[in-house]
Amino acid sequence: MSAHNEEAPILIEDGLIGNGLMEGGSPDGRSPNGGSIVLEAGPDAAGQRLDQWLAGKLGPDMSRSRVQLLIRQGAVKVGGQPVNETKRKMAAGDRVSVDMPEPEPAEPQGENIALDVLYEDNELIVINKPPGLVVHPGAGNWTGTLVNALIHHCGDSLSGIGGVRRPGIVHRLDKETSGVMVVAKTDRAHKSLSEAFADHGLTGDLKRAYLALVWGIPMRPTGTVDEPLGRAVDRVRRAVVPEGRDDARHAVTHFTVIERFGEQQKQCATASLVECRLETGRTHQIRVHMAHIGHPVVGDPDYGQAFRTKANRLPEPLKGRVKAFPRQALHARLLEFRHPTTHLTMRFEAPVPRDMEELVDGFRKL
């Protein structure tokens, strides 16, 4: 610490401790360029959740989700002791220190990350996204994303989305979901593709098909799940919710059973390879809908936990392979859309990645 920072702490209004307990602090007690800040809880804080109270003190530049991430990362201490429970109740007089990270660039930076490009022209680019690649920078993933890779790959061919040279993300795949994605390179393409995805192909040419390896065998070879989705109790995951709830969003998934596995082996767990076609595009839609009807995606860490023990009913080496599979077995197989300038229908398919293909092959041998 500098000599200045070793001076006695100065208590200022709202329970914020001044530069005496900060590295790299500013005169108002905030720490925009990294370092630590210390806050003292007043009487009104008693009974509040730690994440709520901190977000109120650090806002508006610090969102509650960002505060929750800092808590989970061990960057928050109460009374000098690290805490990682966001719901911890506050008490009057609690002293809370926060190790603030260095600020991230306002705009994503290009990074030399290999891409599997299926098609590219002046208006758009189509890629086969591998599992493990986050689409857009965000809390906990400010670098190493698809957007960073596209900025580097496309360079000056990005004419600008909203006046900024950046790729236009019109739809997303979860980090651990692989498959076909289209990204706009111009404002014109971004507007056209965004409208197509917002319409979900109901009046246009947009088609999306996914392959999912799911537990069990659906009773019917085809079906539709028409259930609204909203936030789950933990506020992180999604769940089927009552239609009238404030956060309920219309969601429809059509599925077709492509293959059935293990149905002749009565002592063995069964599974199915299912094609899912989206009529809407909600967060985690396929994963939540398939789990809702009792057929969660194999390997899904968020919505398939209750089915993990099913792997114990599989023979080796498939049993070990399923237990070791690190993600949900979900792949965006097909994407079809109308080109924003040529108006030609474009169709792209991506092969199932090797790890998922090997998993499916293992089930085929049951």
| Residues belonging to the active site | 174
C-alpha 163/C-alpha 331 separation (Å) is 33
Work out the number of other CB atoms within 10 angstroms of the CB of residue 74: 11
